[in-house]
């Protein structure tokens, strides 16, 4: 077994150089990518990939960056790929990220920001205690960190660099791709699977060390538009229709325990994530999720029926519902080639990492890519508390994820010899 000796400081430096570039995506912009600033990191990566020695480095008109590490074998093995996304969540600001590095974490509260009294505490985030004695990277609490998914980008680039520097590690052809707009559900929409040319791939977009996922939610987005009527409140009796009041009736008509904060595992939910309203009009935006396809279809049906029933009670068509599917459970596409999951699991075990095989309570680019003909399980990138001020990344998890990539390439070369 080869012992990987990664350049820890260089990998930390690489990660910091990525997270300090603002790449927040925008769900309200139909352009592709949804924000111009995503190009800044993509162009930075083009130069870096060329400098470390990758070939076929291309950045297309939609901000998909692909590159190749050629095979160093004298026999053919399947081409495999690794994918990560460069954008960060629109849910919390990624502007002016100020990273803080906490060596030898002692298991106590971490003061992120004294002035604003922002504290990352194991009393609330118990997972912190898994990393006692390790090095954690956080922000100053005023931004997200961007480990989702710049940790994945860092790991892929670092693994490719390591393989180039260590030709004694035998591997087949490896393709990598960095995508835009994953956080707004468009990351795989214009992904050219044929151009990518891999038999299968792995997204480096999971959380806790050891995570290995090939099941995810079936997902839909729903927009509820409620029309009201505004008149002077002094003369409102029998005339005013308050759309916000009707909105509250709609919200309360859905099962109140079938929401993210009351569900776990394979349990689906309705999630109201945005609400904007005045008397004349209120708009509710939901995501609808379930792992089981039949339950997923029933959820969408129940959502529409709830609106229909309220309209009937109101005696008017005041509530309009639009539902659009976003992605489906990749399990259906990955199970026929389950050996690609087994390879990743064995790679983790070889590196003394305990695999945590579970269903994603969300989705990745791999969900859509699997349905486009590129089976694509998801591997941990190491970060925690994504999309908010309390996000953190154990450096040791990032190093281990990099090792997993290298080990997978090594195992594929041996398995298909």
Question: Could you give the residue numbers annotated as active site?
Answer: 87, 182
Q: Show the CA angle centred on residue 159, arms to residues 158 and 164, nearest 5°.
A: 100
Q: CB burial class (10 A; 0-12, 13-18, 19+) of residue 66?
A: buried
Could you tell me the sign of the dihedral formed by the alpha carbons of 45, 47, 48, 49, in that order? positive
Nearest alpha carbon to residue 68 among 55, 80, 49, 83 = 55
Summarize the chain as % helix, strand, coil (round to 5). Answer: 35, 25, 40
CA–CA separation, 281 and 278 (whole Å): 5
CA distances, 407 to each of 38, 134, 228, 392, 416 (Å):
30, 23, 60, 25, 14
User: Virtual CA dihedral for 87, 90, 91, 95, nearest 10 degrees?
Assistant: 80
Tokens of 161: 């660099």
Q: Show the CA angle centred on residue 34, arms to residues 140 and 334, nearest 5°.
A: 90
Nearest alpha carbon to residue 58 among 186, 165, 197 = 197
Q: Are strands 393-394 and 269-277 parallel, antiparallel or unpaired?
A: unpaired
Q: CB burial class (10 A; 0-12, 13-18, 19+) of residue 167?
A: exposed
Evaluate whether 68 touches 185 at the Cβ level (below 8 Å). no
CA–CA separation, 312 and 76 (whole Å): 64
């Amino acid at each position: 077994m080869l012992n990987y000796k990664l350049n820890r400081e260089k990998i930390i430096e690489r990660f910091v150089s990525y997270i300090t570039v603002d790449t927040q995506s925008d769900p309200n912009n139909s352009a592709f990518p949804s924000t111009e600033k995503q190009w800044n990191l993509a162009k930075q990566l083009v130069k870096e990939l060329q400098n470390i020695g990758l070939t076929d480095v291309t950045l297309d008109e939609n901000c998909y960056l692909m590159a190749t590490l050629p095979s160093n074998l004298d026999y053919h093995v399947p081409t495999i790929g690794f994918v990560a996304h460069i954008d960060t969540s629109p849910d919390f600001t990624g502007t002016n990220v100020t990273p803080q590095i906490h060596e030898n974490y002692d298991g106590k509260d971490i003061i992120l920001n004294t002035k604003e009294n922002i504290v990352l505490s194991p009393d609330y985030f118990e997972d912190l205690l898994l990393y006692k004695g390790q090095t954690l990277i956080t922000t100053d609490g005023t931004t997200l960190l961007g480990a989702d998914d710049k940790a994945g980008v860092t790991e892929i680039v670092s693994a490719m660099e390591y393989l180039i520097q260590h030709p004694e590690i035998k591997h087949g052809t490896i393709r990598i791709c960095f995508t835009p707009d994953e956080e707004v559900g468009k990351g795989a929409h214009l992904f050219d699977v044929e151009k990518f040319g891999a038999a299968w791939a792995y997204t480096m977009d999971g959380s806790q060390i050891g995570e290995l996922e090939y099941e995810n939610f079936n997902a839909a987005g729903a927009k509820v538009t409620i029309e009201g009527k505004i008149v002077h409140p002094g003369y409102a009796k029998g005339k005013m229709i308050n759309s916000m009041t009707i909105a509250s009736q709609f919200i309360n008509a859905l099962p109140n325990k079938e929401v993210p904060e009351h569900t776990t595992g394979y349990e689906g939910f309705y999630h109201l994530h945005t609400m904007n309203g005045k008397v004349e009009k209120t708009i509710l935006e939901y995501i609808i999720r379930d792992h089981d396809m039949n339950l997923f279809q029933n959820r969408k049906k129940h959502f529409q029926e709830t609106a229909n029933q309220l309209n009937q009670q109101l005696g008017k068509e005041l509530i309009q519902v639009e539902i659009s599917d976003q992605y489906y459970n990749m399990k259906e596409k990955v199970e026929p080639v389950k050996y690609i999951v087994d390879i990743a699991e064995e790679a983790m075990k070889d590196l003394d990492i305990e695999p945590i095989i579970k269903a994603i309570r969300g989705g990745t680019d791999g969900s859509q890519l699997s349905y486009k003909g590129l089976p694509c399980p998801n591997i941990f990138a190491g970060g925690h508390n994504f999309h908010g001020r309390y996000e953190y990344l154990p450096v040791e998890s990032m190093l281990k994820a990099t090792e997993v990539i290298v080990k997978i390439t090594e195992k594929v070369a041996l398995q298909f010899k």
